[in-house]
Amino acid sequence: MTPRGACPSLATPMPTGDGLLARIPAGPMPPARWIALAETAATFGNGHIEITARGNLQVRGLTPATVAPFTMAIGEGWPTDPLITRSPLAGLDPTEQADPRPLAAAIRAAAPPLPPKFAIAVDGGGALHLDALPADLRLTATTTGWVLQDGDALLPPLPEAEALATLVARLADPTRRSRLPPRPRPPAEPLGLHHLRHGLALGIAGAFEAPRLAAYAEAAATAGATALTGAPGRALLALGPLDPAPLRAAAHRLGLITAPDDPRRRIAACAGRPACASATIATRPLAEALAPHLPPGLTLHLSGCPKGCAHPGRAALTLVGIEGRIGLVPGGTARDRPARMLDAEAIPDLIASLQDATAP
């Protein structure tokens, strides 16, 4: 099981309200491997698969008895180490200043054991930059070399070997941690079409239940994708000599999100009923029903119970399932005392509560 404070991995899955959760760094893998992963997640877990804010995969609903067969069944090749996040279009993006993959591999090989959740970002300096991703140490490629950012300190650009040596030296004191404040650039937008050196990348997002993920991976293969990869921003990128129109159409058909301004991107919904035994409301259908009515800028958290798995922090409005009814928590978390209770079927009242949450 996951030691306190550590990231849940296949080796150390984390207990949650809907069973064990395992996180897998989601590097580029052929569509067929994603199809197999989706089918395996449905067999050994509850079939709820998520892509996290850092672009990792989360498989939910595993049990102590199914973690090992799940790990065996997905096969080798999936990355296991969440220490380093690198640009999702590494080596493919014509705008990147340097391919971050060799440096990321060298850091992984040289890094000493580090505290739980220590995070290093290795950013090739391309279109899908990692500026907004929290990290303890950050290396960014520029036209004059790799810039190491450590807390508020920004070192002058260094050649790759020196950047590696400097970063590894800093890792000698990993207790001196400071999650970096985001830099001024807004987060990169992974959704939509991106031009690669050879081919295209199409970014989508959404709720990736196993059948939907498998169907999308199949459509991606048919459209010419050679790989799928998770990307920061809870996105899935299809990569290759793509024909994007039929793939986008398949994403629409499957109810996935293709447009950056889709209001569903501002809703965090947990597995809910019936997937999670702790849930007393069905969160995902509620998210679909409320999304068209979400006022601009409002972030909504739908939680099947007060554990708040999908969004542990505060949201502008949280709707939490309590004994089959819905508690409204403005500006708080799923654990907070609701200001009001509504029936789960009272959709018009719930829609009105969205408007109330934005009233001055």
Q: Please state the closest distance from residue 27 (CB atom) to ligand SF4, in A.
A: 26
Minimum Å distance from CB 60 to ligand SF4? 8
| Residues between 305 and 324 with contacts to ligand SF4, criterion CB under 6 A | 305, 307-309
Near ligand SF4 by CB under 6 A: residue from 133, 267, 271, 354: 271
Q: Which stretch binds ligand SF4 (CB under 6 A): 34-42, 108-116, 144-152, 274-282?
A: 274-282
- Tell me the residue number closest to ligand SF4, measured at CB: 17
- Closer residue to ligand SF4, CB minimum distance, 66 or 85: 66
Applying CB under 6 A, among 2, 140, 149, 303 the residue interacting with ligand SF4 is: 303
Q: How far apart are CA 299 and CA 180, in angstroms?
A: 24
Q: What are phi and psi of 196, to 5 degrees?
A: -110, 170
**22: closest CA among 63, 53, 83?**
63
The one segment of 102-110, 218-226, 231-239, 302-310 that binds ligand SF4 by CB under 6 A: 302-310
Q: Which residues contact 200 (CB under 8 A, 6 or more apart)?
A: 193, 194, 239, 240, 241, 242, 244
Tokens of 239: 């990569």
Closer Cβ to ligand SF4, 219 or 270, answer by number:
270
164 neighbors 141 (Cβ within 8 angstroms): no
Nearer to ligand SF4, 40 or 303 (CB): 303
Query: Which residues are CB-neighbours of 225 under 8 A, at least 6 positions away?
Result: 31, 202, 238, 239, 240, 242, 247
Instruction: Among 276, 290, 326, 357, indicate the residue that binds ligand SF4 (CB under 6 A).
Output: 276
Here's the x/- map for ligand SF4, 2-41, by CB under 6 A: it reads as --------------xxx-----------------------
Q: Are 339 and 350 in contact (CB under 8 A)?
A: no
**Nearest to ligand SF4 of 309, 317 (CB atom):** 309
C-alpha 5/C-alpha 79 separation (Å) is 21
Which is closer to ligand SF4, CB of 2 or CB of 16? 16
326 scored as a contact of ligand SF4 (CB under 6 A)? no
**Residue keyed to tokens 């998770």:** 230
Nearer Cβ to ligand SF4 (95/278): 278
Per-residue x/- mask for ligand SF4, residues 279 to 298, rule CB under 6 A? x-------------------
- The footprint of ligand SF4 (CB under 6 A) covers 16-18, 270-272, 276, 278-279, 303-305, 307-309
